[in-house]
Amino acid sequence: MAGGEGTRIRKITKDKIPKSLVSLLGKPILEHQIEALRKNNVKQIYIVVGHMGLKISEHFKNGEDFGVSIQYICEETPLGSAGSLFFLKDSIYEDFLLLFGDVIFDINVDLMYNFHKDRNAIATLFVHPNSHPFDSDLVVVDENSKVLCFDSKNNNRNYYYSNCVNAGIYFFSPQVFTHFQELKKVDMERDLLFDICGEIGSVFAYLSSEYVKDVGTPDRLEKTAIHMKNGLVARRNLSNSQKCIFIDRDGTINKHIGLVTSPEQLELEMNVVEAIGLVNNSGYLAIVITNQPVVARGLCSVDTVNEIHKKLHTLLGNQHVYLDDILFCPHHPDKGYHEENPKYKIDCECRKPKVGMIKTAAAKYNIDLRQSWFIGDTTTDLLTGKNAGLMTALVKTGEAGGDGKYCLEPDYSAKNLLEAVKYILRI
């Protein structure tokens, strides 16, 4: 979809070129996209053009010089973010990938496609956390990754939210064309995706840590150029093994007050925002691994824990940093508490110091555990890292190792999360 006028980047285009031809490290944005598609063996491409579309077709012609086959669809009048799909209804008879022309990405397309097909989805959205969720359209999903609704950036968000952003890359089943019986203006989220959310097969969200960034503003274009130069964009592709800094929650990220049973109780430790920001720009993933026995003990529900994590996402996102994922264990094996929830009173494989959560994350994000770390404030965290084959760091916040459950030494001791991260990144 390369038909937009690029009002946000007019400072660069000066209305002389379409935004998808803006240069990024010596190549147009659209050329970077075509190279990424070709690398994933996607070679049949339709480009929707509108504003100064002739400049795009003159540059790429039929695509032969770029190793692909290109056809063009011209919007005589603007049709919104999805209306031009009407022109494809008699041309495409299989699942197809759709992306917007101002997105730089390096993803493993096969992984997203397999996710899409496994769920028999009509539409699959690539979603991820980003550094500015407060001005992004958010996707609300259930525990099975099914999209429930969309939270517009124009909403008055006087509530906590998950940092789950629609990145502008989609897989669609040809079933989607049943929604295009006439040529008209269609908004991708408000008109199309909202319409099909209730259908069988429906809409799913594919969460990935891979690099996808809207470069439709000058500052984002500049930041992406830095990430391309230092190799961050390519390293994040899940075809490559990833490095991760696993982080405990209570006492490491937020202040230790005992058991946290409501969002109001969560308050960030000092320097946490700076620490996580450094991780975001380093090539390491930042994933929280936390025991939350409050569920098993009947002190709060899984939904409440999720609300607590929404507050964490919101606090961090407001400061332009993010966590790649949060995994928590709701179980506790010891019985006898008055309010306990028997459903969660089990001896599971996910409760630290067992490594079930780390194994889940490692499989999902192709993490090389030998190159990864666990940072926490207890000896339970240290043993978890050791059991998973990780390097470990103990912070002097929270319990500062005073739980005394296990006798072992960390690979590094730090006064707080920031100092630990700086040591790992050798800053």
**Residues involved in catalysis:** 248, 250
Q: Which residues contact 254 (CB under 8 A, 6 or more apart)?
A: 260, 266, 267, 268, 269, 272, 312
**Can you tell me the distance from the alpha carbon of 300 to that of 291, in angstroms, rounded to the nearest whole number?**
14
DSSP string for 237-294: STTS-BEEEEE-SBTTTB---S---SGGG--BPTTHHHHHHHHHTTTEEEEEEEE-TT
Residue 247 gets the label, from left (phi > 0), alpha (psi -120 to 50) or beta, of beta
Q: Any idea what DSSP says for residue 25? A: T
**Can you tell me the distance from the alpha carbon of 381 to that of 332, in angstroms, rounded to the nearest whole number?**
16
Instruction: Give the chain's end-to-end CA distance (angstroms, integer).
Output: 41
Q: Report the half-sphere exposure of 333 (CA within 13 A, side-chain side).
A: 8
Residue 17 gets the label, from left (phi > 0), alpha (psi -120 to 50) or beta, of beta
Angle, helices 29-39/53-60, rounded to nearest 10 degrees: 50
SS3 183: coil
In which order are the strands placed within the sheet that holds 325-329? 325-329, 284-291, 243-247, 373-376, 391-395, 412-414
Angle, helices 379-388/356-365, rounded to nearest 10 degrees: 50
Closest CA to 227 of 320, 131, 104, 319: 104
